[in-house]
Structure 1
Amino acid sequence: MPRPLRVTAAIALSLSVTAALAGCAGSSSGSSTDELDIATTVSAVSFDPYLADSGPSIWILQPAYETLITKNVDGTYTPGLASAYEYLSPTSFQLTVRDGVTFSDGTALDAAGVVANLERVKTVSGPAIGNAAAIDTITATDAKTVLITLSAPFPAMEDLLSHNVGMMVSPADLSSPDLATEPAGTGPYVLDTDATVSGDHWRFVRNANYWGDASAFSYDALEYKYFTDPSSTLNAVRAGTMDIALGNTTTAAAAKSAGLQIVTQSTDTWGLVLGDRAGTNQPALGDVRVRQALNYAIDRDAITKAVVGEYGSPAHQYFGTQTTGNVPALDDAYPYDPEKAKELLADAGYANGFTFAVTSVPGIHDAMVQAIQGYLAEVGVTMTIDQDGDFFANVQAAKDPAYALTYTQGDMYTTLAPIVTPTGVLNPYKSSDERINSLYAQAAASSDPAEQTSLYQQIAQIVSDDAWFLPVYYADVIVYASKNVQVKLWPGEGYPWIYAWSPIS
């Protein structure tokens, strides 16, 4: 367990990942001989960054992998494994590969290695690469320069390359079947395979050959442990066997009473994606009046109070206040009005209701979907809850006409891509609206932030009017931490990143 260490919180923060990537190679030993233990809700992890889920997996990938561009705790972007980068035009983006970077297997990073990594965007299918569809060609123009050409303007390369797509894998391991279980990155830690049991716990120790400044990372070892439910997670932090954990609204009050640190940030929208908007599997959902009726049928205020309490607020529109797509006029777009819901259902020919299934994650969405289920039953609609099998695979396969989603939102261009574009990985029925497509393309081509905001808000208005979603509440990301560990949340991210983890003296 962490003890008082020689690096203060202020020094550790100043030596964030940006500092670690800012210069020549540093010491291979850090400032601590201690371990940090992290409770995670992720049971299945692939250490292939392109195949891993880009949300919950990222904090387990970060010890072993660094990104081409660094996203900082204040939401800004700075050079990472790329020492410089720039748009040469709206459809061309250039990277300069940093000198002196080596992978954990000793291979040097160069332009050819970056090209080999990014070429995989076109050959593999995974949740992490859904936003990379605009990448057309990747060329090494010399040993240290990479030119990325885009099939259309794409203004979010910084964000894209600061997440999984920007994580570089040693070229020697890109096609290895072992990559799923044995990471091969440039990070300050390596996986201790002898002390790891996949699906239960993962232990990382310092990378003795780390190219950068290892003192930027305060702990000699990081161990992630899988927990199956919020109560056991809280108990582990409260007992001192875990130092950091993703919290839960059902246990937050107990965590506060126990004296734990509670770090929060409003980032997530919780609700349903009414995906079958063409009525392919459930004809009722193909009628906009029905989708609007479902929105009027639920009492967001009551659900929010019951499920998340002080750690959330009702959501009448899908895009939260942390995004440039939020429209203040939509804050009461769908007030609770069950009589209006019944009228709309009757007008659409469903006075006697209908039945539809929603894909959900057990232990995560239970309280929310059960509350929605109860309200819909009051207007004659039967919603069944499908928790069978792999959630993401079922969503991708459009198994059900709707699904529950906890959606972390930040950069609006990146936020929209998976959820409203025809090729989006979270748009399984490939819904397409030419108005949205045109507005999205205009936003990509614009260099005027005010114009982009207006375009994003027009998209938000359309998806609200047409009831693409059933938003319920905006919920805080909640993190529990012991009193001697500093944790920070990055803007638009649903998990605490490792770069600000440090001891509090």
Structure 2
Amino acid sequence: MKKKSLIASLVSCMLLLTACGGGTEKPADTDKKNETTSAQNTDEKALYTIFSKQGEGTNFDTPWWNRGDLYKVITFRSLFKANNTLTEFNPDLISEYKPANDGLSYEFTLKDGLKWSDGKDLTADDVKFSIEGALRGAKVNGIYSATFSKIEGAKEYKEKTAETVSGLTVDGNKITMKLTQPVGNLIPILSQFAILPKHGFEGVDMLQYNTADFWKNPITNGMYKVEEIVTDSYITLVPNENYEGTAPKIQKVVVNIVPSESILTAVADGQADFFNSKVPAEISKLSENAAWEKSAVDTLFYYYLVFNLTGNDTRPANKALQDPKVREAIYYAIDRESLAKSIYPEIGEVASLGVPARDTANYNDTINKFGYDPEKAKSLLSEAGYDTNQTLEFRYYMADQSSVSLYEAIVANLEAVGIKVNLQKFAGDATQELFDIRNYDIALKGLSAFGYDEWYGEYSATHGNFPKLIGHNESYDKPYNELIQATDANAKAAALKELQSIEQTDLTKMPVFMLKNMIFVNGEKVDTKGAQFGNPWFAYDLGFENWEMK
């Protein structure tokens, strides 16, 4: 059975990698050692773009962590290719696939004649190697780990009691995948998962694959190959002569590696012709230049409050916050609508729970909207017997000016209803501070989600971090399992609506709002031929082969 596309009904839960992989961002390192020399935008026939420096020794970043960067999309391919709304999925490296009626097995047939950029054959063994590598790799986006863990034999392979994943078998140019349970969004996830060359990692422990020498000069399978990498400085790409698809018209792409705190300056100085941002200061500055054409795109980026309901070994959890009435009061106390308009104009969108109201098919329109109501907040605090003399410890890690303005505004809202707050920035690694050290009461974090299953997966007992913070509410288990296994749009919608119903009384996570992303193209230099843009944190068909330099 040949499949040319998979329509949105199969993946209505998926609107959107980063990925900012894992959904957290580390504070920018402003030490002078991060200064770099980038390639100047002097070649009129080259397209320039920006990549945020990942620390000292940055080369080509792994697409298994953050898939959406333009340079990764045009160099590495997946079994499927998504459209810009991530609702339709066409074969890319495969010619066809056959799913079993019970959703427990899939047979994928690779196209004939596929090559790596070094001229070697791309085979089904590369696909098997990649999936097995992602199961053992340390720096792998959770959407892949969770999905591939459902393959038969994955557990034994991860625990190193088996040398291979028994549920992955290769026969010529075909690879068969057998699952322990249906995975409703398997095809969308495979549209994001980049296939890497087995021969490029010979002798490498895949636990630390992301630090291998491979990334200093990677072998690619996309329309471009790597011409040069200057560590901490830039990457240049040129067309891949072994790519079997339509050759791109742009003959060189330059990727400047820039520290995050210097990105706006770099873009303003002409070091990029294509750029995306969710930072208001960057959006505002670039919007002043008429050469930049901009497009706002919906993303599943959650900016939300989390509560430390477990405390830590030396600091017990705040008893007041364990009362749902107090958490509900906090929600009513925050004027989210005004904050979105004043701090995040153009990109801020108020969302009460995990599904935004714009997604009418999956949104539960009977839920409480938790609109701004300070008097209701005061009443709930009174009912809960809240001690207004206590001070709650509020922490954050994203330190750009807009984010800081948001934290300060939230503090003002809370203090207006009688909740004293001490606001401080996390001192160390954000993930460690949030989930392991846990020396706070409330924190505000970000999550760039691949789909609703990632948001609701944080309530799961099997999540790697959140049970340490908020405990586990068993009410989520049944609808969450129904969500991740459903392949029918109606079944997904029913599960999502039930999850929202549970959320509105649980209130252990609270979206302040969701953020769109702004895509910028230098219209004076680049003709995108009417490209339809989507979420920049994920791979999708940009029609890049048609782009031209003016």
Post-superposition shift, 1:154? 0.9
Q: Structure 1 residues 207, 428: CA separation in 2 closer, same or farther (over 3 Å shift)?
A: farther
Post-superposition shift, 1:446? 3.6
Aligned pairs for 1:89-488 within 5 A: 89-128=102-141, 129-132=144-147, 133-137=149-153, 138-163=167-192, 166-174=193-201, 175=204, 177-193=212-228, 195-198=229-232, 200-208=233-241, 210-216=242-248, 218-229=250-261, 233-234=263-264, 236-247=266-277, 248-259=279-290, 260-274=292-306, 276-279=308-311, 282-284=317-319, 285-321=321-357, 323=359, 324-330=361-367, 333-346=369-382, 347=384, 349-363=386-400, 365-378=403-416, 379-392=418-431, 394-395=433-434, 397=436, 399=438, 402-409=442-449, 411-417=451-457, 419-424=458-463, 427=466, 429=468, 431-483=471-523, 484-485=525-526, 486=528, 488=531
Q: Structure 1 residues 162, 393: CA separation in 2 closer, same or farther (over 3 Å shift)?
A: farther
Post-superposition shift, 1:396? 5.6
Cα distance in 2, alignment partners of residues 80 and 426 from structure 1: 34
SS in 1 for 2:107: strand
Which of residues 84, 90, 97 in structure 2 aligns to 1:78?
90
Query: How high is the sequence identity, in percent, across the aligned residues?
Result: 17
Cα distance in 1, alignment partners of residues 334 and 61 from structure 2: 40
Letter in 2 for 1:375: N
Post-superposition shift, 1:127? 4.7
Post-superposition shift, 1:377? 3.4
| Mean CA deviation greater in 432-441 or 333-342 | 333-342
Given that residues 297 and 376 in structure 1 are in contact (C-alpha distance below 8 angstroms), is that contact kept between their aligned partners in structure 2? yes
Q: Structure 1 residues 50, 125: CA separation in 2 closer, same or farther (over 3 Å shift)?
A: farther
Residue-by-residue CA offset, 1:39-97 (whole Å, 9 max, x unaligned): 3445346756476345xx64343233111211122431011222222421322232222
Q: Structure 1 residues 118, 367: CA separation in 2 closer, same or farther (over 3 Å shift)?
A: same
In structure 2, stretches of 5+ residues that fail to align are: 1-42, 154-166
Post-superposition shift, 1:279? 4.9
Cα distance in 1, alignment partners of residues 307 and 108 from structure 2: 37
Post-superposition shift, 1:190? 2.9
Q: Structure 1 residues 187, 337: CA separation in 2 closer, same or farther (over 3 Å shift)?
A: same
Cα distance in 2, alignment partners of residues 183 and 390 from structure 1: 29
Post-superposition shift, 1:475? 2.3
Given that residues 75 and 225 in structure 2 are in contact (C-alpha distance below 8 angstroms), is that contact kept between their aligned partners in structure 1? yes
SS in 2 for 1:328: coil
Cα distance in 2, alignment partners of residues 227 and 78 from structure 1: 35
Cα distance in 2, alignment partners of residues 404 and 304 from structure 1: 15
Letter in 2 for 1:365: S
Given that residues 459 and 467 in structure 2 are in contact (C-alpha distance below 8 angstroms), is that contact kept between their aligned partners in structure 1? no
Residue-by-residue CA offset, 1:109-166 (whole Å, 9 max, x unaligned): 2222211111123322335134423233442241222222223221111111111xx2
Post-superposition shift, 1:180? 4.7
Letter in 1 for 2:287: K
- Compute the RMSD of aligned alpha carbons: 3.2
Given that residues 271 and 473 in structure 1 are in contact (C-alpha distance below 8 angstroms), is that contact kept between their aligned partners in structure 2? yes
Post-superposition shift, 1:334? 1.3
Give the structure 2 partner of residue 17 of structure 1. Answer: none
SS in 2 for 1:242: coil
Given that residues 322 and 409 in structure 1 are in contact (C-alpha distance below 8 angstroms), is that contact kept between their aligned partners in structure 2? no
Which of residues 45, 70, 88 in structure 2 aligns to 1:59?
70
SS in 2 for 1:309: coil
Given that residues 70 and 78 in structure 1 are in contact (C-alpha distance below 8 angstroms), is that contact kept between their aligned partners in structure 2? yes
Post-superposition shift, 1:303? 0.8
Cα distance in 1, alignment partners of residues 385 and 244 from structure 2: 62
Misfit runs of 4+, over 6 Å: none
Q: Structure 1 residues 427, 71: CA separation in 2 closer, same or farther (over 3 Å shift)?
A: farther
Cα distance in 2, alignment partners of residues 241 and 197 from structure 1: 17
Q: Structure 1 residues 310, 457: CA separation in 2 closer, same or farther (over 3 Å shift)?
A: same
Cα distance in 2, alignment partners of residues 293 and 393 from structure 1: 28
Given that residues 102 and 211 in structure 1 are in contact (C-alpha distance below 8 angstroms), is that contact kept between their aligned partners in structure 2? yes
Given that residues 307 and 368 in structure 1 are in contact (C-alpha distance below 8 angstroms), is that contact kept between their aligned partners in structure 2? yes
Given that residues 245 and 480 in structure 1 are in contact (C-alpha distance below 8 angstroms), is that contact kept between their aligned partners in structure 2? yes
Letter in 2 for 1:80: D
Cα distance in 1, alignment partners of residues 307 and 220 from structure 2: 37
Q: Structure 1 residues 169, 393: CA separation in 2 closer, same or farther (over 3 Å shift)?
A: farther
Cα distance in 1, alignment partners of residues 303 and 50 from structure 2: 25
Residue-by-residue CA offset, 1:349-388 (whole Å, 9 max, x unaligned): 4433442343422227333333223323333232533343
Q: Structure 1 residues 413, 373: CA separation in 2 closer, same or farther (over 3 Å shift)?
A: same
Give the structure 1 partner of residue 10 of structure 2. Answer: none
Give the structure 2 partner of residue 16 of structure 1. Answer: none
SS in 1 for 2:468: coil
Give TM-score scaled by structure 2 length: 0.74
Given that residues 46 and 549 in structure 2 are in contact (C-alpha distance below 8 angstroms), is that contact kept between their aligned partners in structure 1? no
Letter in 2 for 1:286: Q
SS in 2 for 1:264: strand
Q: Structure 1 residues 186, 296: CA separation in 2 closer, same or farther (over 3 Å shift)?
A: same
Cα distance in 2, alignment partners of residues 273 and 455 from structure 1: 23
Cα distance in 2, alignment partners of residues 333 and 495 from structure 1: 29
Cα distance in 2, alignment partners of residues 41 and 421 from structure 1: 32
Give the structure 2 partner of residue 18 of structure 1. Answer: none
Give TM-score scaled by structure 1 length: 0.80
SS in 1 for 2:108: strand
| Mean CA deviation greater in 258-267 or 210-219 | 210-219
Post-superposition shift, 1:404? 3.2
SS in 1 for 2:116: coil
